[in-house]
Structure 1
Amino acid sequence: MRGNVNRWLLFGMLFLCVLNASDVYAWGKKKKNAKTETVAPEKSKYEVFLEAEGLRSVKGWFITVHRLGGKIYFEYPLKYMGWDLLIANTAAATSEPLLVNVGYKVKTPMHVRFVLEDSTVFMCERNTYVTYGEGEKHLEKAAENSFMDVKQQKMKVVTYNTDRSAVVFEVTEFFTEKNTRLSPIGGYFEGLPLVGELKKNLSSIGAIKAFDDNVSIEMKETYACALKYGETFIGLGDVTVNSVKSVLLLPEKKMKPRISDPRVGVFLTGKQEMSSERGAKYYSYANRWRLEPRNMEAWERGELVEPKKPIVYYLDNTFPEAWKKPLKEGVLRWNKAFEQIGFKNAVRVRDFPLDDPEFDPDNLKYSCIRYCPVGIENAMGPSWVDPATGEIVNASVIIYNDAVKLATQWMFVQTAQVDDSVRSGVLSGKRLEEALAYLVAHEIGHTLGLMHNMKASHAFPVDSLRSASFTRKYGTTPSIMDYARFNYVAQPGDEGVKLTPPEIGVYDEYVIKWLYSPVAGKKTVEEEAEVVREWVDEKAGDPMYRYGQQQILAVYDPGALSEDLGDDPIKAGDYGIKNLKYILPNVNTWVGNDEFSEYRMDLYFQIVNQYFGYIANVLHQVGGVDLQTVKEGVADERYRSLPREVQRNSMLWAIRELQGSGWLDEQELSKKRLSLKYSSLLRGVAGRMLFGRAPFVTFSSHLTEKPYTVKDYYDDIYTGIWVAVARGGKLTEGEKALQRLCVSMNLEKARGVMRQDGRALTGATESGMMTMSVDEVIESGLDGSGFVRRFRERLVEFEREYGSEFVTERLLLHNAIGVDPYGWQKRVNVEPIDESFAYIMDMFDKIRKLIEGRLRTANPSDRAHYQSILYQIKSLHRME
């Protein structure tokens, strides 16, 4: 019974509970006016983030960028995690354009991808250097394990968006801290590394933009800038820079790369291929734009078709109005080359759009031609690629204001003998348009992937440059990528001769075909390489299509020089010097409206510089070696020493020119500047080059059975320099100058050998530079960029501590700095076979005997000179 009672009690209690609940419900329904309490749903972390006070967001199809105070966040779609990106920095505004160029990316863009691991996002730098053959897929996993991406930045996840399709993480530190990879300060300036220390307390965030496949963040920063010289820093002061940091999403489908051929001069992306059969090999992809026919079937039928995505350049609206038309024309010249391979309107140029909110010239997405209003006589055309394939994704052309000044002066000193339209020293009309179009066409060539081809102009016989029919067809060179400027060979009376380079040379058209012509059929990368290699084979042996790399670290090949014309530098030099002797006396007459003679003095220095160029071109034949890249199995030689007589004639020709260079000292011009005579400066520079050729002669003689030997070289110095002593009579100023330099330079080398300290002639000496002070560099007109003048006080302070050698050996030898795309030819160490000391001593012995025999009968004004020579030579014996 008790159990039943308990069950009834329990049942009753449950009934009452249900009844009470029903009553409450009923009561709530009846009392409609009663106040109800509702609890708001808790906000998500993402919603709280979006409602933060002061948050500003910029939404794009790719990334949404949030800014909260001094912090920056990315809202990054998960579907793009692991995709390839390029992150770059472009200078948008600067307080010092000499050091920071507007529109330029001084640092190579970072090739990265974002990877999500748990609650952390890592930015990883891509490792795409190693590849494997298309038939060796089994190497894929091994390559992944051995060549991982490198983690560069760690960023904590803040939250996910509402549907968890994107993650929010902070990127402030990456964009605002001392990130040297995104610094606008860098590279080399005047031969020394330029460095900058960020002053974070003076930095701020500017405009933020987001588009369909990229975002950009503007930073306003101040850097303490300096040139680095060893462990010493030359302070250049503070520079404020507004820079745009872009993040660009690369296409998921990669461009099919094209394997390079060293016989074609293009920029490269280096690779290493792993093979279980052949072992590892190093190769490279050619850098090129992704240019694909819009209609492949029509292209295969031989029709002209437009590309799916043309190559578009945007022209800076700050250019002088008179420049814009020829600059556009120079860009579009390249369409002629693309039409020959079936592309219509492949290259296009547009003005900066003023009404397009998406356009940003500093964004990595846009390739622009920028104007830099600074007194630098230069232009440049760099490009940036997807390192996985070599696909060019962005390019810039920077044209400095004084590039036109340089072109004007070149036209004057090279063509004024036949073209009276350039004699005023100011370009206008047709001549200005020609100069600007050529200038930008050359730089556009670089952005299309073409390197300098310094061998091109050597293909033409010198006398052909005096032919109207030949020059109208070919201009001055087969390639505008050569540094072959204007026709200094043409003589007064050569009517109808073209004085400028071609619009596009035959070599340039050939390279565009090799780079960009599609290969029909579904071929592999290796199969395509075989096809395009045959195109090069077809032109092998034809000098019009020969490539000669720019010689940076050492100059061995006299056929691959800058600023030369034709295949015979002695004949070309004779023509050019004859023209300079005609132009020089007329400078004062032709160039007017120059109240203080400054511009006339600039032209005067250009004449001196042009004359030095003719002498240098000839001197490079002394110890010269003809170099070319040839395919295995081809009979052509890879290298060939220049014939003995060519080297000897070059040596004696240069000596005669230097001895007789007094014609440079035109009285009406030279008296306008307080400095050494330019003939003296020339002898100092060119003379050092003349007496520094021994290592090149040693090497060249080592390569042939009929050499021009080091003994021949020193015998010719003795014959050419000291014949005046044997002749008797008063020495000229030029003869004495070369004799003094001959003794001092060779004494320097001989003493180094006798001390056994290994010292020999320095690279600076062999390159033809001379020791000058900061002020002498300025006064002599050697400060082409204006850098030395701009920072004179700071450089003078440095000079007082370290000596004037710093200026000439470091600032003026900045062309010794270079990147190594094909492997620059470096200086060959000839020490194991160097016999120059023996022949120096032999030459000194002959000089001593000659002077001792002539001293008593010498002209009285020359005796002190002779005695000083004897004293220096005899000083060697005192060292023994």
Structure 2
Amino acid sequence: MPKNNYKPRYDDTRIGYFTTQTNHMTTLDRVNYRDFINRWNLIKKDPSKNLSEPVKPIVWWIENTTPYELRDIIKEGVESWNMAFEKAGFKNAIIVKIQPDTATWEAGDIRYNVLRWTSSPNPPWGGYGPSFVNPKTGEILGADIMLEWSYITRRVYEDDLFNDFNENTLNQYCNAGKYQQIETSLGIDYIKAYDLGSEMEKELIKQSLYRLVLHEVGHTLGLNHNFKGSTLLSTEELNNKDIVNKRGVCNSVMEYPAINITKDIKNQGLFFDIKPGIYDNWAIEFGYSQFNNEEQEKIGLKKILSRSTEKNLAFANDALDMRSPGKGTDPNAMIYDLSSNPMEHSLQRINMINNILRELKEKYTKNNDTYQELYRAYRTLVYSYFNALEIVSRQIGGVHIDLSHTNQNSKVKPFESVSLENQQKAMDIISKYGFSNKVILQDDIFPFLQSQRRGFSVSEDPTIHQRILTYQNRLLNHLLHPKVLLRITNSQLYGNEYLLPNYMIDLRNSIFKEDFNSNISTVRQNLQITYIKRLIKIIDDKSKYDNISQSTAHYNLLWIKNNINTNTGNLSSRQHKDYILFLINSINNI
């Protein structure tokens, strides 16, 4: 471990740094946390100046295997962080060099901070930025960033889009590269659909790589994720290129945002951020500002942190995000989202995807020998469509979280339920676009969704029913999650007006009402049977659901049993309803 005058800085809940956790073992306080933030040991050459170069800057080396045409983009992306360090009083805090071809050291040498470049046959990520620290102080001693060629080629694993992601929610695991690949692919589909040209496509890829580098470098500076970063601008502002190009897309490059695609093609601004956001500047100011003594540090940090209640500095890390069903409570702390009104933005995205799908076959069969690109584009679009609905679903049972401290006298309560209006609106959107017969179906595309044969791999039926049901199940995983149903009931005690019995009836209606006594499409049959089976599991004696959730599930099963008419509809629909009754009647004592 280095012997120097490095002084640890204590963590604060209002701002997001990786930490070295320690406990004060002799204090009488019940909360004895003494966690240090992880940061580099930057010291001003001239402490008397407001802006000074550091004694020892953070030096990054671009590995000499990196393609020449990408080196400048990567270099500029890394050095963009210098703008944030100027807020902390440092000039040229970060320096980027190219590893010489004649270098006698390997890129894996821990004495050097290296931006590695790889092209793996089965890449586990598009980018990843680990670092290592002094376990006694939190001082960052070194770091590497892994960048994958697959990120540029956008080789997304389609099976990951179809099957359930294994969402790793560990606080120090980063999926930014993987998620941003999908968003970039959606952007390419948008550009192709509207014939916006190769130059815009190149610009999109450039911005995407720029932002990936910014994100991973941010991790190596000590910053963890900020999943409220996407709430910086309203949907209207995001559709204004002048505002976006001036203020940025998000308040932080440590977010996993949706790509910014405007409603009006002529008003397209930035797709992704290309410099640190306002939150990033604030976080670096907190972590790296230098003070002459402890008293000045105490006063200075208090002043910096007092700004945490500003809307533009909204923050929530992995501990609070809602990426997985049942995880988190605050719908503003979500991944893949954008806008201070995520429901409005999700609707805009759904409409855009529907428009792209209408022209998809023509655009992707014109200059391709096989249907592989059409197949890939369709899967990406359907995934993005349902992901927009997952973002909407988090409003239901949602509880906004405020992290301000008591001495800030915030007008916002630590826990505030999502309004009744927004929860009901979310239910309406899911009902219309996720569960109804208007769910995304493109009959003219289905016969052409053929993956390219390779060796003995077989291009099989595109399994549309299973694909749609998989995504509908993802919605139900959250909408009927035991934690969500329990929270709906618990939050009644502090403001939630969307009562569980009413919500469960609305959910039932969204799945059954449209065709209760008429012909039922096979897509809806799949959904209804899945829903019934879920309710049956809820009322099982061994289930993890609370009593009130079980009683509402029981009520809705009884209602369906007593009201379903097995004599209406075509043969398939009648058989389907007979099976639903069979499932319900198979329950003891119902």
Q: Same fold (TM over 0.5)?
A: yes
**Higher fraction of strand:** 1
Q: Give the 3 Å change call, closer, same or farther, for CA 425–749 of structure 1 in structure 2.
A: farther
- Which of 554, 557, 565 does residue 844 from structure 1 map onto? 557
Q: CA deviation at 1:296?
A: 1.5
Report how far residue 486 of structure 1 moved. Answer: 1.6
- Distance in structure 2 (CA, Å) of the matches to 1:678 and 1:410: 22
Identity rate, percent: 23
Pick aligned residue for 1:547 from 303, 308, 315: 315
Contact kept? 2:472, 2:527, Cα under 8 Å: no
CA shift digits 1:261-304 (9 cap, x unpaired): 1100111111112345657711211110011111222x2xx3x3
Pairs within 5 Å for 1:17-166: none
Is 1:735 paired with 2:524? Answer: yes
Instruction: Name structure 1 gaps, 5 residues minimum.
Output: 1-249, 761-830
Name the CA distance, whole Å, in 1 between partners of 2:500 and 2:30: 43
Q: Which has the higher helix share?
A: 2
Partner of 2:133: 385
The answer to whether the 8 A contact 2:371-2:448 is kept is: no
The alignment partner of 2:230 has SS state of helix
Tell me, yes or no, if structure 1 residue 597 matches structure 2 residue 371: yes
Aligned match of 1:668: 445
Residue in structure 2 matched with residue 609 of structure 1 by the alignment: 383
* 1:348-359 paired onto structure 2 within 5 Å: 348-357=95-104, 359=105
Task: Provide the rounded CA distance (Å) in 1 between the counterparts of 2:83 and 2:260.
Answer: 24
RMSD over equivalenced CA pairs, Å: 2.6
Deviation at 1:653, TM superposition (A): 1.6
Amino acid at match of 1:267: F
Q: Work out whether 1:859 is the aligned partner of 2:544.
A: no
Paired with 2:130 and 2:264, the residues of 1 have a C-alpha distance of 39
Specify whether residues 263 and 334 from structure 1 end up closer, same or farther in structure 2 by C-alpha distance, changes over 3 A only: same
Deviation track 1:94-139 (CA, whole Å, cap 9, x = no partner) reads xxxxxxxxxxxxxxxxxxxxxxxxxxxxxxxxxxxxxxxxxxxxxx
Task: Say yes or no: does 1:516 pair with 2:288.
Answer: yes
What is the match of residue 228 of structure 1? none
Distance 1:279 1:647 in 2: 38
* Paired residues of 2:309 and 2:404 also in contact (CA < 8 A): no
**Distance between the aligned counterparts of 2:569 and 2:355, measured in 1?**
36
Q: 1:322 aligns with which of 57, 69, 74?
A: 69
Structure 2 CA distance for aligned equivalents of residues 709 and 694 of structure 1: 15
Specify the alignment match of 1:310 in structure 2.
Answer: 57
Task: Give the secondary-structure state (helix, strand or coil) at the position aligned to 1:368.
Answer: strand
Q: Greater RCO between the two (CA within 8 Å, min separation 6)?
A: 2
- Equivalent-residue separation in structure 2 for 1:389 and 1:372 (angstroms): 32
Give SS of 2:316's match. Answer: coil
Question: Are 2:566 and 1:868 aligned?
Answer: no
1:666 Cα deviation (Å)? 5.0
Structure 2 residue aligned with 1:625? 399
Aligned pairs (5 A) from 1:272-671: 272-275=23-26, 278=29, 281-297=32-48, 299=49, 302=50, 304-357=51-104, 359-374=105-120, 375-376=122-123, 377-406=125-154, 410-414=183-187, 416-417=189-190, 429-488=202-261, 490-519=262-291, 521-523=292-294, 528-537=297-306, 539-550=307-318, 551=321, 554-591=327-364, 593-633=367-407, 634-635=409-410, 636-658=412-434, 659-668=436-445, 671=448
Cα deviations across residues 725-757 of structure 1 (Å, max 9, x unaligned)? 44x33223333222111111111222x22xxxx
Q: CA deviation at 1:403?
A: 1.6
**Alpha-carbon contact 1:466-1:494 (below 8 Å) kept:** no
C-alpha deviation, 1:428, in angstroms: 6.1
- Greater CA radius of gyration, 1 or 2? 1
More deviation in 251-260 or 616-625?
Answer: 251-260
The equivalent of 1:692 in structure 2 is 480
Do the aligned partners of 2:193 and 2:359 also contact (CA within 8 Å) in 1?
no
Question: Given that residues 417 and 495 in structure 2 are in contact (C-alpha distance below 8 angstroms), is that contact kept between their aligned partners in structure 1?
Answer: no
Query: What is the CA–CA distance in structure 2 between the aligned matches of 1:416 and 1:602, rounded to whole Å?
Result: 10
In the TM superposition, what whole-angstrom CA distance separates every residue of 1:7-54 from its partner, at most 9, and x where no partner exists? Answer: xxxxxxxxxxxxxxxxxxxxxxxxxxxxxxxxxxxxxxxxxxxxxxxx
The structural deviation recorded for 1:845 is 1.2
1:573 CA drift (Å) = 1.4
Please list the CA deviations of residues 470-494 of structure 1 after superposition, one character each: whole Å capped at 9, or x if unmatched: 1111222111111114213x11344
Partner-residue secondary structure (3-state), 2:22: strand
Cα distance per residue 1:595-624 (max 9 Å; x no partner): 222233222211111112101001111111
Corresponding residue of 2:455: none
Structure 1 residue matching 2:333: 3-state secondary structure: coil
- In the superposition, the TM-score normalised over structure 2's length comes to 0.85
Contact 1:622 1:693 in 2 (8 A): no
The 1-side partners of 2:97 and 2:369 are apart by 40
1:242-253 aligned at under 5 Å gives the runs: 250-253=1-4
Q: What do residues 703-732 of structure 1 show as CA deviations (whole Å, max 9, x unaligned)?
A: 224432221121112222221244x33223
CA-CA distance at 1:515 after TM superposition: 0.9
Closer, same or farther in 2 for the Cα pair 1:439/1:544, shift >3 Å? same
C-alpha distance in 1, partners of 2:561/2:30?
62
**Equivalents in 1 of 2:386, 2:577: separation in Å?**
28
